[in-house]
């Protein structure tokens, strides 16, 4: 069902400092920041030859990333994103298999302008999983 690894998301307390690490120290190409109010984050993408790293920071006090950073103030890996061919079919399969789809269970538009959904970490060996329609 899952396709390629689209990105690894890292929650960071300071997006500018984290961007500088990847851009200036490692020489990576980093996108401009993008606010995603529906998801409560500001994000940038670090482009790699075979995948991306998404750096995410809270956008507002109600951001789910704020609570993550409260537990891990220096940041850390937040989720893995895998591509799927059909997000609605993937959601139905996950529900039928007993996996919990977070939120209202319906896909929302993500940072790449494509439908995404998140799966509960307790159903995936402690890892928050994002599925994105390819």
pLDDT tens digits in sequence order for the chain, 134 residues long = 899 999 999 999 999 999 999 999 999 999 999 999 989 999 999 999 999 999 999 998 889 999 999 999 999 999 999 999 999 999 999 999 999 999 999 999 999 999 999 999 999 999 999 999 99
If one counts every other C-beta atom within 10 angstroms of the C-beta of residue 35, the result is 12
- pTM across the whole model: 0.93
Can you tell me whether residue 15 is helix, strand or coil? helix
Catalytic: 47?
no
Q: Which residue out of 38, 54, 83, 130 is catalytically annotated?
A: 130
CATH numbers and ranges of domains, the chain: 5-133 (3.10.180.10)
């Amino acid at each position: 069902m899952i396709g390629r690894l689209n990105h690894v998301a890292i929650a960071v307390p300071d997006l500018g400092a984290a961007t500088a690490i990847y851009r200036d120290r490692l020489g990576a190409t980093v996108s401009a920041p993008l606010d995603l109010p529906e998801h409560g984050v500001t994000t940038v993408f670090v482009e790699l030859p075979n995948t991306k790293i998404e750096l995410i920071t809270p956008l507002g006090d109600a951001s789910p990333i704020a609570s993550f950073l409260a537990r891990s103030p220096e940041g850390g890996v937040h989720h893995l994103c895998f591509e799927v061919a059909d997000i609605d079919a993937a959601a139905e399969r996950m529900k039928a298999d007993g996996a919990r789809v977070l939120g209202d269970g319906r896909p929302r538009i993500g940072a790449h302008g494509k439908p995404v959904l998140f799966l509960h970490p307790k159903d995936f060996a402690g890892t928050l999983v994002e599925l994105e329609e390819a």
